[in-house]
Structure formats: structure tokens, C-alpha cells
Amino acid sequence: MMSGVLQTSIKSLPFLHRGKVRDIYAVGDDKLLVIQTDRLSAFDVILDDPIPNKGKILTEMSNFWFRKFGNLMPNHETGIDPLSVVAPEERAQVEGRAIVVKKFKPLGIEAIVRGYLIGSGWKDYQQTGAVCGIPLPAGMQEAQKLPEVLFTPSTKAPAGAHDENISFEEAEKIVGADVARQVKDMAIKLYTQAAEYAATRGIIIADTKFEFGLDEQGVVHLIDEILTPDSSRFWPMASYKVGSSPESFDKQFVRNWLEAQPWNKKAPAPRVPQDVLDQTSAKYAEALRLLTK
């Protein structure tokens, strides 16, 4: 039976924030230590049970993509070894699951990119014939590839609250027209190139979300994690078919288990059986192996 890291307790750095998955500490005035725990949030509720090795898998996968697409746009990386910024006795909490990043001002939106009709987009389409106000052809099916990649931003809600899909015009009001256009262009470019690469490894990236931040000069940078099973929907190409929700390499496995429980999707969540946690961990590990090895 595998265990996991539910939260960290670094004393050698000032603690700043504990999010759904990440614990964040200050490194000086201009950098952050971001630690990926093994916490998992589903339906915006943080589960009491960690997914073994999840934080290390997410960190390794994010680092892979940042290296691969580092030339496309500025990002938050510093290249500083996370083990060098904590006390020796704290290194076990950090090793393999942390990154030291530049501190930027996060934007008030999440950049969601969709290549396939699934999830909330499919529900929206069934009701309105559109996704987030963007009209689509009639007669499309669940999991069908979209005629073109869609940028559908959302608000960035605090822990315990739900993100809300917004129109591009609303995103422009929140971050400004110029920044909104840059974010849209960067997100679509990154998704498109990642999806093309993933297809060569037998994986469909159905959709994903990115986060961006601004430096003191107002330059947009890619931040947070990118193209992981927590921020994306990965489908095995071999079993993909249109008309139903495909199996996936992500937390959908846990979500499906939770959906079958008598639960109102408010905290606390049901305790998840160890075999479901371990099988979820195995799915994350398989995605990492297929994409990066």
C-alpha cells in the first residue's frame, strides 16, 4: 500500500498559501517555492486521501513541457534547485515535487482551451448549441473533435468555490483587451503544439487549462503547472471513439467513483478506497511514461 504527502510544513521559509494541490512559500521578495502535494480536488472539494506520488508525477510532467516549449513564450522558471532553498531536514518534503519560480501577479482568469466536445462544453452544447457562447454546427456528438480549437476563459475561483465560464469579452474587461488577446494566442499555440506532439505518443489532449501572470513591466508569462493530468484531459488514442466519454489518464477515475457515491459534492468528500487511489496513481504514471519517456 502506497501513501502520499497531504501537506508540507517547511519552517525555513515564510508560508504564503495552501491551494487545492500546491503549498507555496516565499523565497526572498521575488521568488516562490511551489510544492506539489499529493492532494486531489474533485468537484472543487479537496479529498482527505492523497494520490500516491501524484505531486512528483505532476512536477516531472510540467518540467518536461516547460523545457519542450520554453522557446514559445516567457515563463516562470528560474532554474534554481528547490533543495537549495530549504533546510537539510526539510529536503524530503521538497525532493522531486517542487520548483522555484519567479513571483508574478496572477491574472484573474484561467485560460481554457478545448479541442474536443466534452465535459461542461458538451453539457453547454446540448442546451444551447454553443460552447461558452461560441456557436457550433448542429448534430455534433460527445467527444467529437471540434471544427477549430476554442479558447473559453473562466474566472479563477478561490478554494471551495466554482470557476465560472465567461465570454472572451468578459475576459477583456477583467485583464484588458491586449493581455486577453496575448493569453488567447499563447494558450491556443501551446495547446495546438502539445496536442500534435501527444498524438505521436498515442494520447489525445482533449482540453487543458493554463495560467498566466504579469511581471512588473506588464509582460505576460506562463505560470503554474502545464499539460498535466490535473489540468488536462488525456485520452488514449487506441480506445477513443465518438459518442461517449472516453477513458482518461487523469482524476476522472476518482470522479467516476465519487459520482457513484451518495454525496452532495460538498465537503467533506467520501473517503476513497486505497485501490481507487492506487489505480489513479497508476494512470498518472502511465501518462507520464507515454508522454515523456
**pLDDT of 1 over the 60 cut:** no
Mean pLDDT in residue range 128-134: 95
161-195 pLDDT per residue, tens = 678 889 999 999 999 999 999 999 999 999 999 99
Q: Are strands 203-214 and 105-106 parallel, antiparallel or unpaired?
A: antiparallel
**pTM of the entire predicted model:** 0.92
* Dist. CA 135–CA 191, nearest whole Å: 21
Give the 3-state secondary structure of the chain. Answer: CCCCCCCCCCCCCCEEEECCCEEEEEECCCEEEEEECCCCEECCEECCCCCCCHHHHHHHHHHHHHHHCCCCCCECECCCCHHHHCCHHHHHHHCCCEEEEECCEECCEEEEEEEECCCHHHHHHHHHCEECCEECCCCCCCCCEEEEEEECCEECCCCCCCCCECCHHHHHHHHCHHHHHHHHHHHHHHHHHHHHHHHHCCEEEEEEEEEEEECCCCCEEEECCCCCCCCEEEEEHHHCCCCCCCCCCCCHHHHHHHHCCCCCCCCCCCCCCHHHHHHHHHHHHHHHHHHHC
**pLDDT of 2 over the 60 cut:** no
Residue carrying C-alpha cell 502506497 = 2
**pLDDT of 160 over the 80 cut:** no
264-273 pLDDT per residue, tens = 999 999 999 9
User: What's the confidence (pLDDT) of residue 265?
Assistant: 92
The C-alpha angle with vertex 63 and arms to 58 and 64, in degrees rounded to 5, equals 100
216-269 pLDDT per residue, tens = 999 999 999 999 998 999 999 999 999 999 988 878 788 889 999 999 999 999
63-117 pLDDT per residue, tens = 999 999 999 999 999 999 999 999 999 999 999 999 999 999 999 999 999 999 9
User: What's the confidence (pLDDT) of residue 163?
Assistant: 80
Residues in a beta bridge with 223: 211
User: What's the confidence (pLDDT) of residue 289?
Assistant: 97
Domains along the sequence of the chain with CATH? 15-102 (3.30.200.20), 105-250 (3.30.470.20)
Q: Answer yes or no: are the C-beta atoms of 177 and 185 closer than 8 Å.
A: no
User: What's the confidence (pLDDT) of residue 161?
Assistant: 66
13-49 pLDDT per residue, tens = 999 999 989 999 999 999 999 999 999 988 889 999 9
Q: 99 CB contacts (<8 Å, ≥6 apart)?
A: 33, 34, 59, 62, 63, 77, 82
**pLDDT interval class at 293 (50, 70, 90):** confident
Residue carrying C-alpha cell 477583467 = 174
Q: 282 CB contacts (<8 Å, ≥6 apart)?
A: none
